[in-house]
Chains A and B, each alone.
Chain A
Amino acid sequence: MALQFDPAYNRRKRRLQTAVFGLFRLLSYAIALVLFVILGFIIVKGISVVNWTFLTQAPTDGMTGGGIWPAIVGTFYLMLGSALFAFPVGVVSGIYMSEYAPGGKLVAFIRMMTNNLAGIPSIVFGLFGMAFFVTYLDFGDSILAGSLTLGLLALPIVIRTTEEAFRDIAPSYREGSLALGATKAQTIWHVLLPMAMPRVITGLILSLGRVSGETAPILFTCAAYFLPKLPASIFDQCMALPYHLYVVATSGTDIEAQMPIAYGTAFVLIVIVLVMNLVAGLIRRHFEKKLNTK
């Protein structure tokens, strides 16, 4: 008997497919829309405030006037400081976990703890930073204490990306180097690190982008409500954009007058984060082209 196909069934299944894909498309458009609304809101509200004076002056008139220059500088100091801490420590730990002790119970435990570390709310980091760096090590409220606290926050991401970057390198590159009489350390330094570096740096920049927007960890460790001067040493306090945003939006003498400044601050913060993500993407693409192993 000849095989009989039902043409109506084919029409039905195509209609169903069209409907389902339509729904998917709608949902993804909706997400993009939400993002555009948020960005648009900040841009519309904030861009009118941003001008040269806003970027280069300290706040004046009890936060109702002037600019946010000390907060921008403070944020950069904190990012730099946390990078200086998280990068070496994170990369070294990641290399250790991937290259020196793979597969062991200890590493599995460390990896679990690292993941847990990433899941701890940032306010807890702030509390720890205050107890350990500010009080116990007696750094006081300072850029140093703030940077270390933010660095701890960035650490799990740096460790993870480093470990994964090393792990993703095909074993034959390690073996190729070892087979020539190189030691493990020579292999890591001369072969693996250059191969992993683009991903490690990308991970670091992304983590700094995140860290730069954190308020809670610096709340108790570093951030100042208002400083007319720029910090002179790592033991000074500093202002920071996210904290400044929080302050101008919630407390002060004249909230109404402060609101445009809050939007301007938010705008600057978002631009910094977006630029960093963009830079990370560019670095990755650049190195991937150079290291194209296909």
Chain B
Amino acid sequence: MNKIEAKNVDFYYGSFHALKGINIAIPTGEVVAFIGPSGCGKSTFLRLFNRMNDLIPGARLEGQILIDGNDIYDRSVDVDVLRRGVGMVFQRPNPFPKSIFENVAYGLRVNGVKDKAFISQRVEEALTSAALWTEVKDKLKESAYALSGGQQQRLCIARAMAVQPSVLLMDEPASALDPISTAKIEELICELSSQTTIVIVTHSMQQAARVSNKTAFFYLGEMVEYGETKKIFTNPEKEATQNYITGRFG
């Protein structure tokens, strides 16, 4: 069963051909890592899954992206409904200028959830699943900015998980964090994979190796190779992949 499927995806920023003929199938419940040098298109591709690139003027998509078999670029799709089901965690922690509680509740509130008891319950569940509950349960009313960088990032993960997305997109979620916080995020990714399909863009090949089941290698807007992470890291098919993961270029 494929959660996300991309068929012949071409993407342009104005006249720049950013993604070239990409086909990929991401199975439900897997952790898939996108690796590749800067500017290879991996982040751009990730951001197509929740239509974040819609915000960019002059961007154009060809081909299809299906989630659960439905074309998410179809006219009938409401982009806010789509995004509710496809959570995203960003490179830098971006908590809102609100309390810890309100940060996590935000996704529920903007989607019209009013039931206070339900919101409290979801906030606790989300914070627990982000391994943050025990650290913050006594200071839910405090500003999110009082947390450390690593905690803020886990708060952002909790915020994304609060609306129970079936896909979680992570755009270099640990690149701004210290090694200990990074390790916690990586552990979290493994645990969350039981609840949601995860696609993670990372600059760290070790991170991709540690957390993912499958890895896709991007280079110059093309997807060079996609397969089991073990295979990619022990015996990649393409020479370009080998050169990249062994640090010979990129």
Direct contact of A and B (CB under 8 A): yes
A contact residues around B159 at 8 Å (CB): 176, 180
Cα distance A222–B145 in the bound complex, in angstroms: 47
Distance, CA A190 to CA B160, complexed state (A): 17
Contact present for A181 and B96 (CB under 8 Å): no
Contact call B145/A291, Cβ cutoff below 8 A: yes
Q: Mark interface residues in B63-100 (1 if CB within 8 Å of A CB, else 0).
A: 00000000000000000110110111011101011100
- Contact call A180/B107, Cβ cutoff below 8 A: yes
A residues 270-294 with Cβ under 8 Å of B?
A: 290-293
Within 8 A of B (CB), among A170-219: 170, 172-183, 186, 190-191, 194-195
A103 at the interface (CB under 8 A from B): yes
**Cα distance A181–B111 in the bound complex, in angstroms:** 7
B106 within 8 A of A: yes
Q: Which residue of B lies closest to A171 (CB)?
A: B55
Closest chain A CB from B220 CB (angstroms): 25
Q: How far is the CA of A173 from the CA of B88 in the complex (A)?
A: 12
B94 touches A173 (CB 8 A): yes
Tell me which residues across on chain A come within 8 A of B106, comparing CB atoms.
Answer: 177, 180, 182, 190
Closest to B85 in A: A181
Q: What residues of B have a CB within 8 angstroms of the CB of A176 in the complex?
A: 88, 90, 94, 96, 156, 159
A177 and B110 within 8 A (CB): yes
Which A84-112 residues sit within 8 Å CB-CB of chain B? 103
- Mask for A159-178, Cβ within 8 A of B = 1, else 0? 00000000000101111111
Contacting pair B94 A181 (CB below 8 A): no
B196 at the binding interface (Cβ < 8 Å) = no
Produce 1/0 per residue, B96-123, CB < 8 A to A. Answer: 1110000000110011000000000000
Q: How far is the CB of A285 from chain B (nearest CB, A)?
A: 15
Is the CB of B247 closer than 8 A to any CB of chain A? Answer: no
Q: Which chain A residues border B91 with CB–CB below 8 Å?
A: 172
For A177, the chain B residues whose CB sits under 8 A away are 96, 106, 110
| Contact call A180/B83, Cβ cutoff below 8 A | yes
Q: Are the C-beta atoms of A182 and B92 separated by less than 8 Å?
A: no
Identify the closest chain A residue to B50 (Cβ). Answer: A179
Q: Are B81 and A181 in contact (CB under 8 A)?
A: yes
Bound CA–CA A195/B98 (angstroms)? 10
Once the chains are docked, how many angstroms separate the CA of A290 from the CA of B146?
A: 9
Are A191 and B97 in contact (CB-based, < 8 A)? yes
B193 at the interface (CB under 8 A from A): no
Q: How far is the CA of A192 from the CA of B177 in the complex (A)?
A: 25
Task: Determine if B183 is an interface residue (Cβ-Cβ < 8 Å).
Answer: no
Report the bound CA distance from A291 to B145 in whole Å. Answer: 7
Closest CB in chain A relative to B205 CB, distance in Å:
24
Q: How near does chain B come to A189, taking the closest CB pair, in angstroms?
A: 10
A172 contacts B94, CB within 8 Å? Answer: yes
Checking B81, B90, B97, B111 against A172 with a beta-carbon cut-off of 8 angstroms, the contacting residue is B90
B110 lies within 8 A of A179 (CB): no
Given known contacts A180-B87, A180-B106, A181-B110, A175 and B163 CB-to-CB distance under 8 angstroms: no
A175/B52 contact (C-beta < 8 A), A103-B57, A191-B96, A191-B97 known: yes
Instruction: Please indicate the chain B residues that have their CB under 8 angstroms from the CB of A291 in the complex.
Output: 97, 145
The reply to whether B87 and A290 contact each other, CB–CB distance below 8 Å, is no
A48 to B203: give the CA distance in the assembly, Å: 70
B52 touches A179 (CB 8 A): yes
Give the complex CA separation of A184 and B106 in angstroms: 14
Across the interface, A181 reaches (CB within 8 A) one of B55, B83, B143, B156, namely: B83
List of B residues within 8 angstroms of A190 by Cβ: 96, 98, 106, 110
CB distance from B170 to the nearest CB of A (A): 11
Given known pairs A181-B80, A181-B84, the reply for A175 and B96 (CB within 8 Å) is: no
Q: Cα distance A194–B96 when bound, in Å?
A: 9
A183 to B160, CA, bound (A): 16
Q: Which residues of A contact B156 (CB under 8 A)?
A: 176
| Chain B minimum-CB-distance residue to A290 | B143
Q: Which of A126-184 contact B (CB under 8 A)?
A: 170, 172-183
Choose one: A179, A194, A195; the contact of B88 (CB below 8 Å). A179
Can you identify 24 A-B contacts, CB atoms within 8 angstroms? Answer: A170-B94, A172-B91, A173-B96, A174-B55, A176-B96, A176-B159, A177-B96, A178-B52, A178-B55, A178-B80, A179-B50, A179-B83, A179-B87, A179-B160, A180-B83, A180-B111, A181-B80, A182-B80, A190-B96, A190-B98, A190-B110, A194-B96, A194-B98, A293-B145
**Which 9 pairs of residues, A with B, have the shortest CB-CB distance?**
A181-B84, A180-B107, A179-B88, A182-B110, A176-B94, A172-B94, A181-B80, A181-B83, A172-B90
